[in-house]
Amino acid sequence: MRLTTKGRFAVTAMLDLALRQGKGPVTLAGISERQNISLSYLEQLFGKLRRAELVESVRGPGGGYTLARAAEDISVANIIVAVDEPVDATQCGGRENCHGPNQRCMTHDLWTNLNATIFNYLSQVSLGNLVDEQLAKDTAVLQDKREQPPAHRSHPASAGGAL
């Protein structure tokens, strides 16, 4: 599968945006800083995401981006397709010319079926699912920090000597 950084960065940026939905427009500079993705790269990705009507831009002071529809209604596949990222495990890019003009390799159907399975899976995972998973992880981390016993303090009386 040739899912490059373009697809991964687009999904990551959209998840960052979705996690902040409801708090006003999110700036690309903020996403860039939090996710360590180049601002110019994000500008290119968000241009494509806007054309695919997955995000909306808000101009002016306090501007940025918001989701164009509910996170539950945006699939990971929607995001990947929007940024022109192929989900393709075939050697020939689906052109069926693996071994020359009009010659498919013996495993062409295997890789084509894998492509369909991956795309189907990504179509079933919504941005809302990813938000829920991330929030659950964040909650678990907070709970783990609260349940940690306090650091052991050494008291002179507990050092084994008499006072």
Q: What is the pLDDT of residues 15-41, one digit of tens each?
A: 999 999 889 999 999 999 999 999 999
Instruction: List the structure tokens of 75.
Output: 């699939």
Q: Can you say whether residue 69 is alpha, beta or left, with left for phi > 0 and alpha for psi between -120 and 50 degrees?
A: beta
Instruction: Pick 5-143's CATH classification: 2.30.40.10, 1.10.8.10, 1.10.10.10, 3.90.340.10.
Output: 1.10.10.10
pLDDT tens-digit map of 55-113: 999 998 889 999 999 999 999 999 999 997 777 777 666 667 666 677 777 888 888 88
Asked if pLDDT for residue 127 goes beyond 70, the answer is yes
Alpha-carbon Rg for the chain in angstroms: 23
Stronger pLDDT, 116 or 32, i.e. the higher one: 32
**Model pTM above 0.85:** no
Across 13-17, 28-32, 115-119, 139-143, least confident range = 139-143
SS3 label, residue 57: strand
Q: Where are the domains of the chain?
A: 5-143
